[in-house]
């Protein structure tokens, strides 16, 4: 056998050894756990220790599963409450694969696990919601609502005292679901009601009631505003009349004082020279009374013609 042929055989054997070695080695990380199956059937227990492990090549297969906490979110469910209110409820939970071998035997993979959780958690959520009134699903405590006198709460049901509340109902769902899921190698840590909403028909009526309530409050504010506006206008009119009255009074007082002063001056002038004063006043009356083309019919002894007669002499 030549050296070249011998080298080729050695290379082929090395490749076969590497293939066998690669097929027999699997690595488990800190976040994974493994179930070994042979022809589809589990062999031995679950491998949860991190590191390098060995299996029979070709006939055995390593099935990996998450060791960390996983997230599950349920689909919205239309559920009637105890007080016959139809609502949409969405839930979510945190879960993990606590027994990989049992998990593999019962549900095969994570998709199968999520499907089981859909049935279990959603089912318990439906039962819990149906056993309590809507106010229990919505509220978590009996904390007092802050409401104003202008917009009081019209729905007295929201003021009712709750017995459990949303958080405790979620805890009930968790406790009941956690009793079932170990059968499938699963552990549930937390369940919460993610969202609650009215169904479309009820939601429409609620919105209409809310709109009507807002419109009533707006109408009240407009009415109060109109009343305040009328009050302000009335105050303005009264103040305007008061100012005008005081101004008229002041003007009349000033005019009276001026007339008195004028009368005093006239009287003083009259006392100094009565005839001159009478003459000037008569001339003034002529100027104001007689215009162009004015005719007067007077008797011969009229006082008005006194100075005309005097000037005629």
* Domain end residue (candidates: 35, 66, 97): 66
Q: How confident is the model at residue 198 (pLDDT cuts 50, 70, 90)?
A: confident
Q: Given a cut of 90, is residue 303 above it in pLDDT?
A: no
pLDDT attached to residue 67: 93
Q: Cα–Cα distance between 313 and 311 in angstroms, integer? A: 5
- 43 & 104 share domain: no
Q: pLDDT above 90 covers what percent of the chain?
A: 39
pLDDT attached to residue 17: 54
Indicate whether 297 belongs to any domain.
no
pLDDT attached to residue 313: 43
Output the domain CATH number for residue 78: 3.30.479.30
* Domain end residue (candidates: 141, 170, 198): 198
- 53 & 77 share domain: no
Q: Given a cut of 80, is residue 42 above it in pLDDT?
A: yes
pLDDT attached to residue 45: 86
Question: pLDDT per residue over 104-118, tens digit each?
Answer: 999 999 999 999 999
- 10 & 75 share domain: no
Split into its structural domains, the chain has a count of: 2
| Least confident stretch, 50-54, 208-212, 231-235, 281-285 | 281-285
Nearest CA-CA partner of 109 in 191, 26, 38, 184: 184
pLDDT attached to residue 114: 93
What are the C-alpha distances in Å from 40 to residues 107, 111, 185? Answer: 14, 18, 18
- 113 & 53 share domain: no
pLDDT attached to residue 182: 94
Q: How confident is the model at residue 310 (pLDDT cuts 50, 70, 90)?
A: low
- 101 & 54 share domain: no
Structure tokens at 123: 């089912």
* Domain end residue (candidates: 179, 198, 217): 198
Indicate whether 7 belongs to any domain.
yes
Angle formed at CA 65 by CA 62 and CA 68, multiple of 5 degrees: 150
Q: Given a cut of 90, is residue 124 above it in pLDDT?
A: yes
Q: pLDDT above 70 covers what percent of the chain?
A: 80
In angstroms, how far is CA 227 from the centroid of its own chain? 31
Q: Cα–Cα distance between 138 and 87 in angstroms, integer? A: 11
Question: pLDDT per residue over 162-186, tens digit each?
Answer: 888 899 999 999 999 999 999 999 9
- 26 & 139 share domain: no
pLDDT attached to residue 185: 94
- 32 & 103 share domain: no
Q: How confident is the model at residue 21 (pLDDT cuts 50, 70, 90)?
A: low
Is this structure's pTM higher than 0.75? no
- 77 & 141 share domain: yes
pLDDT attached to residue 255: 92
Nearest CA-CA partner of 16 in 60, 57, 61, 62: 57
Of residues 6 and 28, the one with the higher pLDDT is 28
Of residues 128 and 292, the one with the higher pLDDT is 128
Range of the domain at 186: 70-198
């Amino acid at each position: 056998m030549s050296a070249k042929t011998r080298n080729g055989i050695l290379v082929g054997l090395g490749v076969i050894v590497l293939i066998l070695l690669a097929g027999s080695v699997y690595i488990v990380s800190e976040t994974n756990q493994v179930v070994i199956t042979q022809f589809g059937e589990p062999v031995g227990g679950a491998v949860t220790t991190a590191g390098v492990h060995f299996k029979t090549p070709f006939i055995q297969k390593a099935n990996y599963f998450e060791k960390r906490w996983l997230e599950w979110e349920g689909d919205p469910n239309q559920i009637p409450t105890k007080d016959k209110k139809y609502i949409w409820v969405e839930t979510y939970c945190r879960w993990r694969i606590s027994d990989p071998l049992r998990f593999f035997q019962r549900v095969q993979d994570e998709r199968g696990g999520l499907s089981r959780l859909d049935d279990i958690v959603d089912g318990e959520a439906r039962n819990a919601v149906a056993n309590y009134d809507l106010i229990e699903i919505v509220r978590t405590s009996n904390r007092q609502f802050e409401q104003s006198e202008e917009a009081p709460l019209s729905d007295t049901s929201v003021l009712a005292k709750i017995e459990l509340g949303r958080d405790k109902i979620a805890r009930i769902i968790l406790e009941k679901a956690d009793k079932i899921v170990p059968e499938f190698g699963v552990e549930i840590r937390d369940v919460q009601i993610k969202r609650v909403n009215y169904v479309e028909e009820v939601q429409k009526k609620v919105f209409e009631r809310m709109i009507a309530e807002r419109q009533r409050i707006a109408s009240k504010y407009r009415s109060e505003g109109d009343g305040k506006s009328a009050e302000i206008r009335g105050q303005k009119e009264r103040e305007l009349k008061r100012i005008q009255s005081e101004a008229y009074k002041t003007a009349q007082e000033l005019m009276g004082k001026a007339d008195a002063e004028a009368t005093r001056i006239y009287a003083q002038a009259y006392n100094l020279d009565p005839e001159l004063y009478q003459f000037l006043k008569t001339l003034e009356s002529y100027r104001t009374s007689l215009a162009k083309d004015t005719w007067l019919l007077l008797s011969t002894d009229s006082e008005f013609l006194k100075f005309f007669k005097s000037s005629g002499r």
